[in-house]
């Protein structure tokens, strides 16, 4: 049996037998209290009696980034033994930490992505810092704060660059006591600034330094350390830490906690060398490390956080009024609307809220989401090139990763811009979906329900118009509707795509009657259902006055194509919003998304649904939504208990009384053609006095407020940017 001595900085002595790489090793742990004389005596006592000696927390060299300096006492102690090899963990620490980050990321994808990392300390952890930085993490070093209690002011403390921190840190620690270099748990003589720890998402380094100098409140943080004991984990649990990761392999079996230091692991590897004369070089260690089959221990310390799949969803203001209403930006109502709208478009993404409480009644899987908002309205997105929005969506994706999301949904106009999510998905490191597959499914479900409420008994004999039919949502709606009803009118301003869509429908559904047109015009007059899903601004998408009595308009567009004033001209016509969704569980969006409590837009619900199913993959992208995806996502929605919400019209639920009144009026108009003709004529006359609009934007709309002063532009932009950064 191999024998290994490990000398550590505390006082406790312990002897145990472990099994590693197929062999049993007797581990003899002896405390030194950090006393060099005691350490030297122990080395001399066991020299030649054990196969390797590990010095835990007793380094020969101090390294911070690329800079390094010899620790005078540590280097001398390494030379005390005459027979037995003496190591301090530096031979394998960096390699195992880099490898451990890769393995942990494979086990929990995204666990380190885009995080704010505070190295506590970065001293002698160059491999860990490098590996985390490669995953897009922003790295700060707490070494000046930990070792010298520097305040966290700009240019000092944890905000110092690695180069700024390395020189003074190494120079002042080269002859420092070991217990200062490797702090042990306990109360510090001088408290450290909590600000660097508040900034960080992830705290990495040594468990002793973290327990000694980190604040009591570490809620929602991840801690990554070389090694930790169960007592260490309990301390982190009490502070609210969500996840703890130990980088070193376990000597207690493949599922054990990594409680053994790098010095211990290196000493064990030295003892297990096939050739005892082999030099203690990287190549020798690599050969042995290749035989280690392990994954760093990842422990969820808060039970309610364990096993929760996370997603993110991007929204944006539909108009400048949404900006005015937001609690952070209410002051903008005193500025010209055009100024506010233009400045807001340049803001970086803002974290809005955490979505909690969603859970599948079928599988029990919990999901949480994060709402992220861009500042641009649809009009601003359309007035810039597509890269303008792509850039901000890429920033949002990185923010989502940092929050732990593995899939991000594109809401409203963010799923329309450019190639409808394809470029964003290509450039992002997490999965992307536009949510349009479930939007299609729930739109058709809502439309079917609305038509039945209005008295239709046989939907197969009806006639449907789809306006904006060549768009990504409407085109697949057209194909699916054609299979169910068989008489469709397709309207789009893209005639060549209309022809192609008509041929596709006729090929997929032989016998279907398909009419195509570039304007709805009078074709709307005999349609039972009109689905409108355009990206039009400043124009009248449909003339509601021409609708037949009791027709249903399902307005999928966001912002909507039909406004309340137009709908009021024909009270017999039912205008409904696209199908909103009730997500299962006690859902709290943490923010007013413009819908009743627990009610979600279908595109958001698709993102949550994919997370609930564990489908972290690019799902609905581009303008060619497949019917197979629509059918699949609808089945998944049924599996996990997602339900169509109550029908709404212009933000209000449609009641039974509303339906009864509309049906009665529609029946009266059908039975009295002269009355219907007068109603249409009167409605048309009123409509002629209304400005054409879509998405709440009037044709040739101009802002009547003056663009006062150039200083207002600069001031508003600076304040908006500052607020965004503070979030």
Query: What's the rounded Cα separation, in Å, for the pair 112 and 135?
Result: 7
Q: Report the distance separating Cα 671 and Cα 663, nearest Å.
A: 12
Residues constituting the chain: 727
Tell me how far CA of residue 302 lies from CA of 220, 242, 617, in angstroms: 9, 6, 27
Lowest-pLDDT range of 272-281, 471-480, 618-627, 701-710:
701-710
pLDDT digits (tens, 9 = 90+) for 412-429: 888 878 888 899 999 998
Residues 424 and 513 in one domain: no
Q: Long-range contacts: 155-162, Cβ < 8 Å, 24+?
A: 157/193, 157/195, 157/196, 158/118, 158/193, 158/195, 158/196, 158/199, 159/196, 162/64, 162/65, 162/122
CATH number at residue 673: 3.40.50.720
> Interhelix angle for 472-484 vs 627-639, to 10°?
80
* pLDDT score for 708: 33
Tokens of 266: 């290196």
| String of DSSP letters for 241-278 | --EEEE-SPPSS-TTS---S-HHHHHHHHHHT-SSTTS
CA atoms within 13 A on the CB side of 598: 14
Q: Please give the torsion angle defined by the CA atoms of residues 615, 619, 620 and 624, in that order, rounded to the nearest 10 degrees.
A: -140
Q: Is 522 helix (H, G, I), strand (E, B) or coil?
A: helix
Cα–Cα distance between 429 and 227 in angstroms, integer?
29
Residue 538's pLDDT band, with cuts at 50, 70 and 90, is low
Residues 427 and 336 in one domain: yes
Share of the chain above pLDDT 90, in %: 66
The pLDDT-based confidence of 210 (bands split at 50, 70, 90) is very high
CB 622 within 8 A of CB 685: no
The segment with the largest mean pLDDT, out of 451-460, 600-609, 693-702, is 600-609
Note whether residue 714 is domain-resident: no
What tokens does 379 get?
Answer: 């009009």
Predicted local distance difference test score (pLDDT) of residue 160:
57
Same domain, 235 and 116: yes
* Of the candidates 357, 353, 403, 371, the residue with the CA atom closest to the CA atom of residue 590: 353
pLDDT at residue 703, as a whole number: 41
Indicate the range of 173-187, 321-335, 502-516, 586-600 predicted with least confidence. Answer: 321-335
Tokens encoding 294: 């392990």
Higher pLDDT, 164 or 673: 673
Residue 277 lies in a domain: no
Q: Average pLDDT in the 432-442 region?
A: 92
Banded pLDDT at 225 (limits 50, 70, 90): very high
37 and 176 assigned to the same domain: no
Nearest-CA neighbor of 284 among 95, 28, 554, 64? 95
d(CA 510, CA 524): 23
Helix/strand/coil (H, E, C) string of 110-163? CCCCCCEEEEECCCCCHHHHHHHHCCCCEEEECHHHHHHCCCCCCCCHHHCCHH
Instruction: Look at residue 725 and tell me whether its pLDDT is greater than 50.
Output: no
d(CA 534, CA 128): 50
Neighbour tally for 683: CB within 10 Å: 21
Q: Average model confidence (pLDDT) for the chain?
A: 89
131 — pLDDT class (breaks 50, 70, 90): very high
- pLDDT confidence bin for 671, thresholds 50/70/90: very high
Maximum average pLDDT range among 156-160, 335-339, 555-559, 707-711 = 335-339
User: Phi/psi of residue 118, each to 5°?
Assistant: -110, 110
Residue among 485, 434, 443 nearest 468 (CA): 443
Q: What is the CA radius of gyration of the chain?
A: 33
> Are residue 191 and residue 150 in the same domain, yes or no?
yes
Mean of the pLDDT values across residues 587-607? 91
Residue 520 sits in the same domain as residue 660 = yes
The rounded distance, in Å, linking the Cα atoms of 193 and 180 is 18
3-state SS assignment for residue 639: helix
Band (pLDDT 50/70/90 cuts) for residue 636 is very high
Q: At residue 169, does pLDDT exceed 90?
A: no
Separation CA 110–CA 405 (nearest Å): 8
H, E, C per residue of 314-376: EECCCCHHHHHHCCCCHHHHHCCHHHHHHHHHCCCCEEEEEEEEEECCCCCCEEEEEEEECCC
Per-residue pLDDT reduced to its tens digit, 677-723: 999 999 999 999 988 755 555 655 444 333 333 333 333 443 344 33
Cβ atoms of 201 and 228 closer than 8 Å: no
- pLDDT for the residue 414: 86
Averaging pLDDT over each range in 321-335, 355-369, 460-474, 476-490, which range is the top one? 355-369
Inter-CA distances, 704 with 563, 691, 694, Å: 22, 16, 19
* Residue at a domain's end among 598, 617, 638: 638
Q: Look at residue 312 and give its three-state secondary structure.
A: strand
> Looking at 62-76, 136-150, 191-205, 574-588, which range is the least confident one?
136-150
404 domain residue, yes or no: yes
The DSSP call for residue 691 is P
pLDDT, position 158: 55
155: number of Cβ within 10 Å: 8
In a domain, 709, yes or no: no
- Indicate if the pLDDT at residue 441 is higher than 80: yes
Q: 111 with 17, same domain?
A: no
By DSSP bridging, strand 297-300 and strand 574-577 are: unpaired
- pLDDT mean over 212-239: 96
With respect to residue 376, please indicate whether it lies within any of the assigned structural domains: yes
- When divided into structural domains, the chain yields a total of 4
User: pLDDT above 70 covers what percent of the chain?
Assistant: 93
What pLDDT does residue 709 have?
Answer: 34
Phi and psi torsions of 77, nearest 5°: -65, -35
**Confidence check: pLDDT of 331 > 90:** no
Q: Are 580 and 595 in contact (CB under 8 A)?
A: yes
CATH code of the domain containing 209? 3.40.50
Same domain, 155 and 299: yes
Supply 649's token pair.
């019209």
Mean pLDDT, rounded, for 178-197: 92
Same domain, yes or no, for 347 and 397? Answer: yes
**How far from 640 is each of 368, 584, 636, CA to CA, in Å?**
15, 8, 6
In a domain, 199, yes or no: yes
Q: What is the pLDDT of residues 44-61, one digit of tens each?
A: 999 999 999 999 999 999
State how beta strands 52-55 and 2-8 pair. parallel
Q: In this predicted structure, what is the pLDDT of residue 43?
A: 97
706 domain-assigned: no
Whether residue 237 sits in one domain with residue 186: yes
Tokens 């301003």 found at = 493
Tell me the three state secondary structure of residue 577: strand
d(CA 534, CA 171): 66
Domain that holds residue 80: 2-87
Give the integer Cα–Cα distance in Å for 470 and 501. 7
What is the C-alpha to C-alpha distance for residues 684 and 522, in angstroms, rounded to an integer? 13
Could you give phi then psi for residue 640, rounded to 5 degrees? -100, 10
pLDDT band per the 50, 70, 90 thresholds, residue 549: very high
Q: Tell whether 284 is covered by a domain.
A: no
3-state secondary structure of 645: coil
665 and 538 within one domain? yes
pLDDT band at 22 (very low <50, low <70, confident <90, very high): confident
* 505 pLDDT higher than 70: yes
Better-predicted residue by pLDDT, 678 or 322:
678
Predicted confidence (pLDDT) per residue in 74-100, tens digit: 999 999 999 999 999 999 999 999 999
154 and 57 part of one domain: no
pLDDT digits (tens, 9 = 90+) for 373-415: 999 988 899 889 999 999 999 999 999 999 999 999 999 888 8
């Amino acid at each position: 049996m191999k024998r290994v001595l490990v000398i550590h900085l505390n006082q406790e002595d312990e002897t145990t037998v472990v099994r590693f790489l197929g062999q049993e090793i007797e581990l003899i742990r002896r405390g030194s209290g950090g006393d060099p004389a005691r350490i030297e005596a122990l080395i001399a006592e066991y020299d030649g009696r054990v196969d390797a000696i590990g010095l835990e927390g007793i380094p020969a060299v101090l390294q911070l980034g690329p800079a390094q300096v010899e620790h005078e006492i540590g280097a001398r102690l390494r030379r005390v033994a005459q027979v037995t090899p003496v190591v301090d963990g530096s031979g394998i620490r960096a390699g195992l930490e880099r490898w451990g980050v890769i393995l942990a990321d494979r086990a929990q994808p995204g666990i380190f992505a885009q995080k704010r990392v505070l190295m506590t300390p970065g001293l002698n952890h160059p491999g860990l810092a490098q590996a985390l930085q490669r995953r897009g993490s922003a790295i700060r070093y707490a070494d000046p704060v930990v070792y010298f209690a520097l305040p966290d002011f700009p240019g000092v403390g944890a905000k110092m660059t690695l180069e700024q921190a390395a020189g003074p840190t190494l120079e002042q620690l080269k002859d420092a006591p070991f217990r200062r270099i490797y702090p042990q748990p306990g109360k510090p003589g001088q408290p450290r600034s909590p600000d660097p720890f508040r900034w960080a998402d992830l705290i990495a380094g040594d468990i002793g330094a973290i327990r000694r100098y980190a604040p009591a409140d570490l809620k929602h943080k991840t801690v990554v350390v070389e090694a930790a004991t169960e007592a260490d984990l309990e301390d982190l649990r009490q502070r609210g830490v969500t996840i703890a990761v130990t980088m070193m392999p376990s000597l207690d079996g493949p599922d054990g906690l990594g409680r053994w230091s790098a010095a211990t692991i290196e000493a064990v590897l030295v003892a297990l060398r096939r050739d005892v004369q082999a030099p203690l070089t990287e190549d020798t260690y690599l050969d042995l490390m290749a035989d280690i089959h392990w994954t760093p221990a990842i422990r969820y310390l808060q039970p309610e956080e364990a096993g929760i799949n996370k997603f993110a969803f991007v929204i944006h203001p539909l108009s400048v009024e949404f900006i005015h209403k937001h609690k952070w930006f209410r002051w903008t109502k005193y500025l010209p609307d055009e100024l506010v709208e233009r400045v807001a478009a340049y803001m970086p993404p803002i974290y809005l809220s955490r979505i909690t409480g969603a859970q599948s009644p079928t599988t029990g899987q919990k999901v949480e989401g994060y709402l992220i908002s861009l500042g641009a309205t649809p009009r601003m997105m359309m007035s810039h090139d597509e890269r303008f929005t792509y850039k901000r969506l890429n920033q949002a994706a990185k923010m989502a990763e940092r929050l732990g999301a593995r899939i991000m949904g594109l809401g409203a106009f963010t799923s329309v811009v450019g190639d409808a999510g394809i470029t964003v998905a290509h450039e992002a490191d997490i999965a992307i979906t536009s949510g349009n597959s479930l939007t299609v499914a729930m739109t058709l479900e809502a439309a079917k329900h609305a038509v039945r409420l209005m008295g239709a008994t046989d939907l197969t004999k009806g006639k449907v118009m789809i306006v904006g039919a060549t768009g990504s949502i409407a085109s697949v709606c057209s194909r699916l509707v054609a299979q169910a009803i068989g008489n469709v009118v397709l309207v789009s301003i893209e005639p060549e795509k209309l022809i192609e869509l008509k041929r596709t429908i006729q090929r997929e559904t032989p016998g279907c009657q398909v009419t195509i047109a570039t304007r709805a015009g009078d074709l709307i007059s005999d349609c039972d259902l009109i689905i409108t899903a355009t990206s039009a601004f400043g124009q009248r998408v449909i003339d509601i006055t021409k609708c037949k009595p009791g027709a249903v308009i399902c307005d999928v567009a966001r912002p909507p194509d039909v406004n309340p004033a137009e709908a009021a001209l024909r009270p017999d016509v039912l205008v409904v919003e696209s199908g909103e969704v009730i997500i299962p569980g006690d859902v709290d969006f943490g923010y007013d998304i413009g819908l009743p409590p627990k009610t979600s837009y279908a595109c958001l619900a698709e993102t949550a649904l994919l997370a609930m199913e564990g489908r972290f993959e690019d799902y609905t992208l581009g303008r060619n939504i497949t019917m197979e995806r629509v059918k699949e996502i609808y089945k998944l929605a049924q599996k996990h208990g997602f339900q169509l919400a109550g029908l709404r019209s212009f933000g209000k639920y449609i009641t039974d009384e509303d339906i009864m009144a509309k049906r009665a009026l529609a029946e009266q108009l059908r039975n009295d053609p002269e009355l219907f003709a007068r109603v249409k004529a009167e409605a048309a006359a009123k409509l002629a006095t209304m400005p054409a609009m879509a998405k709440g934007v009037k044709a040739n709309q101009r802002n009547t407020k003056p663009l006062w002063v150039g200083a207002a532009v600069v001031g508003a932009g600076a304040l908006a940017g500052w607020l965004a950064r503070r979030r």
